[in-house]
């Protein structure tokens, strides 16, 4: 029997082989893809005009004033996440079992390295070993659910160097990639999510379970893309935070253990905004080219990652 290590395996013990792409790309899929593209287009169009509204600009200025505390927020949030992992005998994520004493030792070393700013690269080193351990034990396919740790590792390494301006953009990219990878699970293995929705009595707001799961997947994929390209970063951070808070009321402590570090990243994104580094959305000066960039490359991301996801997934 296959060891089914997927993101929703926090809450279900079943496995479904990924559907081939022709079975995923149905009429309903194309419809919700169109809705998602429309939402991304509106986000791109209103990204800068919204920031010029005096009330919103004032909020942004207040958030900007907290930017010097970005690294401290990550240190505190990551430390809290590590403590939860030590309590639950896990590492990086609730379903990754710390079944060897040396894994626990590495977690403690990560925690110790976070105490001082100059020892952050040591935390990055030990965190890298833990992520490599996750790949070795559970496979790259599953470890990509948590590829945001690569962004955290990079942040810890470069924060005290001249590359500091690239630290937050790397976090945005890898967090977005992680969110996109998780979204593909709902698209290609939807029956796993069906079991969770039905089993936990999650409201579907008038949609069928099938449509609700597909909509959820497209929302995740769309939010992932906004993080990667740099559209409405602060607003999206609030939206994702509220979603995770809502899911915590359903799934309880395990959800807290798994998403404490993600909440930390979202708080950082809320404070940082677009940052000083040019975002991919800003590469083109022409608004038309910017909008085209967002829509075309979203489709490339979606179908490219989907093909990779189906190819990499273990088979029963």
pLDDT digits (tens, 9 = 90+) for 82-127: 999 999 999 998 889 898 999 999 999 999 999 999 999 999 999 9
Per-residue pLDDT, 285: 80
pLDDT at 303: 96
Specify whether the CB–CB gap between 287 and 104 falls below 8 A: no
When pLDDT is averaged across residues 141-157 and rounded to a whole number, the result is: 95
Tell the residue number behind the tokens 């593909």, with chain if given. 184
Stretch among 4-13, 108-117, 202-211 having the lowest mean pLDDT: 4-13
Q: Among residues of the chain, what percentage have pLDDT more than 70? A: 89
Q: Which ranges of the chain does DSSP label H, i.e. alpha helix? A: 21-24, 27-51, 54-64, 70-87, 101-113, 120-138, 140-143, 148-158, 167-188, 190-199, 209-229, 233-251, 253-272, 287-312
Domain ranges of the chain: 7-312
Query: Rounded CA gap, 300 and 316, in Å?
Result: 28
Looking at the predicted structure, is the pLDDT value of residue 304 above 60? Answer: yes
Is residue 192's pLDDT more than 50?
A: yes
Average pLDDT, the chain: 86
Mean pLDDT of 167-196: 89
**How many angstroms separate the CA atoms of 290 and 292, rounded?**
5
In the structure encoding, which two tokens stand for residue 158, read together? 């470069």
What does residue 94 show for φ and ψ, rounded to 5 degrees? Answer: -60, -30
Please tell me the predicted confidence (pLDDT) of residue 194: 78
Is the pLDDT score of 159 beyond 70?
yes
Task: Indicate if the pLDDT at residue 315 is higher than 90.
Answer: no
* Residue 11 reports pLDDT greater than 50: no
Listed range (14-28, 127-141, 235-249) with the worst mean pLDDT: 235-249
For 33-77, what is each residue's pLDDT tens digit?
Answer: 999 999 999 988 988 787 778 877 788 788 888 888 999 999 999
| pLDDT (0 to 100) of residue 259 | 82
Task: Answer whether residue 275 shows pLDDT above 80.
Answer: no
315: closest CA among 187, 179, 189, 180?
189
Comparing 64-68, 176-180, 295-299, the range with the smallest average pLDDT is: 64-68
Q: What is the pLDDT of residue 200?
A: 64
Predicted pLDDT at 112:
96
pLDDT of residue 4: 44
pLDDT band at 14 (very low <50, low <70, confident <90, very high): low
Written as six digits, the tokens of 129 are 């070993």
């Amino acid at each position: 029997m296959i060891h089914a290590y997927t993101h929703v395996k926090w809450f279900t013990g079943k496995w479904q082989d990924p559907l081939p792409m022709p079975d995923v790309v149905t009429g309903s899929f194309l419809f919700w893809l169109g809705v998602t593209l429309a939402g991304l287009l509106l986000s791109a169009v209103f990204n800068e005009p919204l920031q010029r509204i005096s009330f919103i600009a004032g909020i942004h200025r207040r958030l900007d004033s907290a930017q010097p505390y970005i690294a401290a927020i990550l240190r505190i949030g990551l430390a809290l996440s590590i403590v939860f992992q030590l309590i639950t005998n896990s590492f990086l994520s609730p379903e990754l079992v710390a079944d060897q004493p040396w894994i626990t030792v590495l977690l403690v070393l990560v925690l110790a390295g976070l105490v001082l700013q100059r020892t952050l690269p040591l935390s990055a080193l030990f965190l890298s070993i833990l992520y490599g351990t996750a790949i070795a034990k559970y496979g790259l396919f599953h470890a990509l659910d948590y590829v945001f740790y690569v962004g955290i590792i990079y942040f810890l390494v470069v924060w005290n160097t001249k590359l500091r301006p690239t630290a937050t953009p790397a976090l945005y990219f890898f967090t977005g990639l992680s969110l996109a990878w998780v979204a593909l699970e709902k698209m290609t293995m939807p029956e796993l999510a069906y079991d969770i929705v039905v089993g936990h009595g999650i409201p579907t707001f008038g949609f069928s379970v099938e449509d609700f799961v597909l909509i959820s997947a497209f929302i995740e994929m769309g939010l992932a893309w906004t993080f990667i390209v740099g559209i409405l970063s602060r607003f999206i951070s609030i939206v994702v935070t509220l979603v995770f808070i809502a899911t915590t009321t359903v799934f309880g402590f395990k959800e807290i253990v798994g998403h404490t570090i993600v909440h930390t990243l979202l708080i950082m994104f809320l404070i940082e905004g677009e940052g000083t580094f040019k975002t991919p959305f800003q590469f083109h000066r022409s608004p038309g080219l910017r909008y085209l960039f967002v829509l075309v490359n979203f489709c490339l991301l979606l179908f490219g990652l989907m093909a990779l996801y189906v190819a990499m997934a273990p088979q029963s």
